[in-house]
Amino acid sequence: MAADAAGTVEIRGALARLRRTTGLPVVFGGLVEPGRQRMRISEFSGAAGLALRGLAVTSGNGLGGKAVALARPCAVTDYSLSRQISHEYDAAVAEEGLRSVLAIPVVVRRRVRGVLYGALRTAQPLGDRTLTAAVQVARDVEQALVVGDEARDLLTAARPVAASAGPGPDAGAGAGAGAGWEQVREAHTALRALAPRIADPALRAELLELCGLLTPRPPEGSSGQRVALAPRELDVLAWVAAGATNAAVAERLGLRPETVKGYLRSAMRRLGARTRGEAVVAARRAGLLP
């Protein structure tokens, strides 16, 4: 899924959470257009009409444009009468009947990627609790977009690695073979660690598919072909293969150390291994790890 399409999905989900957590009857938002100093309102929940649909909000103009320009949350108690904002969009806001409005920018790597709005049809202060809840929803979107960006960067970097990896670390000769497969193993570990954090199922599937391309096929007739590990067992074993301790694996995967030990013991049992090192070797022979 393209970055802008994935971002739209995140905005849509965020608006549902924003309405649920704040109780605001009207929420809407959209993404900043790539390479342009404006955002377009594309997603709505609770809107009565179409006055705001597709509206292009220029940076600095109106409440949302102010949030884009300043990269910080902005709010007004009565939109049409506020002296804190410019009024290019008053007609559309009035047609929807909005009075109290907040606008929360979604900021990723110091760049505003989108804006979430929440509104009432009465002129009254929105309150700190509502603003705090709205900011938290925006932070969640920011984290999701960061993870998605990291995933796409990894995919871009790992595809050439997968294409040049060859049949396996021992298949070719040359001094560069070992170093090349270390790069493959690093890419595989990074991709597996990131995949569980991806909310977008299409992007997650693409990451895991590339992980499969980075692992060599086991030899013909190898009994290792019949070995299967659960996804989390393989995640843990990939970090163990990279030299991480159980505590480090737990921190990287967001698990408890005891849980990591359990996954590792299960993987060792499935692979017929008595030690961590034997488990890694067996997994590589079975084509589960590069």
Q: Summarize the confidence of residues 36-63 as an average pLDDT.
A: 92
Q: What share of the chain is helix, strand, coil (3-state, %, to 5)?
A: 55, 15, 30
Q: Tell me the per-residue pLDDT of 75-113, one tens digit each, with 9 for 90 and over.
A: 999 999 999 999 999 999 999 999 999 999 999 989 999
pLDDT at 34 over 90: no
Local confidence band at 181 (pLDDT 50, 70, 90 cut-offs): low
Label the pairing between strands 101-108 and 74-76: antiparallel
pLDDT at 227 over 90: no
Q: What is the pLDDT of residue 235?
A: 86
pLDDT at 172 over 50: no
Q: What is the pLDDT of residue 131?
A: 95
Q: Which of 238, 239, 280, 246 is nearest to 262 (CA)?
A: 246
Residue holding tokens 């009994």? 223
Are the C-beta atoms of 53 and 40 separated by less than 8 Å?
Answer: no
Q: CA 201 to CA 210: how far, in whole Å?
A: 14
pLDDT at 176 over 50: no
b/e burial code for range 170-183 (CB count within 10 A of at least 16 → b): eeeeeeeeeebbeb
Are the C-beta atoms of 79 and 99 separated by less than 8 Å?
Answer: yes
Q: Tell me the per-residue pLDDT of 232-270, one tens digit each, with 9 for 90 and over.
A: 888 888 888 888 888 888 888 888 989 999 999 999 999
Higher per-residue pLDDT: 33 or 166:
33
Radius of gyration of the CA atoms of the chain, in A: 25
What strands, in cross-sheet order, belong to the sheet with 74-76? 56-58, 38-45, 26-32, 111-119, 101-108, 74-76
